[in-house]
Amino acid sequence: MVQAYLLELMREFDLSPWSWVKDVRIDRHLQALGQCFLEDGVPVIRLRSMRPLSPEEEALQARDTKDRLLGIYIHEQLHQYLDLQSEETLAAVEVLRNLYPEVPVGGTEGAMNEFSTYLHLILCTLELDAMALLIGEARYRDLKAAPRFYRFIWRTVLEDTEPLRDLIRRVGLTSPAAAPTARG
C-alpha cells in the first residue's frame, strides 16, 4: 500500500526538488514511520509499511494517508539535504540553542537527543514549507496540529514559523524548491 501510494504521489507531484536519496525502501519491520540512514556510505530511506485499508477506510482516509506519507517522504529526504548543508545546519542549531535554551529530548515531545531536537526544528520548518507548496500550508498545519510525536517540535514550528523561516534564510538554508507542481 505504501509503495502504491508513493508511486501515485510521484505521478501527482514533481518531487524532484526534494529527491536527494534515490534508494527508497518499504520496511514492514521499521518501528519509526521513516528513517534516512547510510548503508555502505550511500543514503537510503526506509518507510514503514501500513496495514491495508478496507474499501470504506480507504474512501474516508486515502487523502489524509497520502498527504501524511508525502510529509514523511519529504521529511526523510530533508535529512539528506541538511546533511549536505552541514555548515549552515550547524550555524542554525547554534542560534536555536540561544533561542530555545531548554528543549525536550525523547518521549512524545522531542527527538532522540538535544541536537536532534534542534535539527528537527529546522527540518520540520522546511517540511512545512515543502508541504505548503505541494498541498497547501493550511492543510498541512491541520495535519500537524496534534502530532503523536515531536509535539514540542511541531508546536514550536507552527507557532514560531516566521522567526524560524527567517533564521533558515539568514544561515543560507533556503527552501530546496522554487515552485513545484502543486495539487490543483
Q: What are the domain boundaries of the chain?
A: 2-170
**Secondary structure (DSSP) of 14-38:** --GGG----EEEEETT-SSSEEEEE
Rounded CA separation 169/146 (Å): 27
pLDDT value, residue 174: 79
Look at residue 54 and give its three-state secondary structure. coil
Which grid coordinates belong to 121?
Answer: 526544528
pLDDT value, residue 114: 98
pLDDT value, residue 57: 59
Separation of CA 47 from chain center = 12
Closest CA to 35 of 93, 65, 79, 71: 79
pLDDT value, residue 53: 60
**Cβ(1)–Cβ(54) below 8 Å:** no
**Cβ(25)–Cβ(44) below 8 Å:** yes
pLDDT value, residue 184: 41
Distances (CA, A) of 176 to 15, 111, 113, 127: 11, 23, 26, 10
Rounded CA separation 139/154 (Å): 14
pLDDT value, residue 180: 42
Residue segments in the chain with a per-residue pLDDT below the cut of 70: 51-60, 177-184
Enter the pTM of the model.
0.91
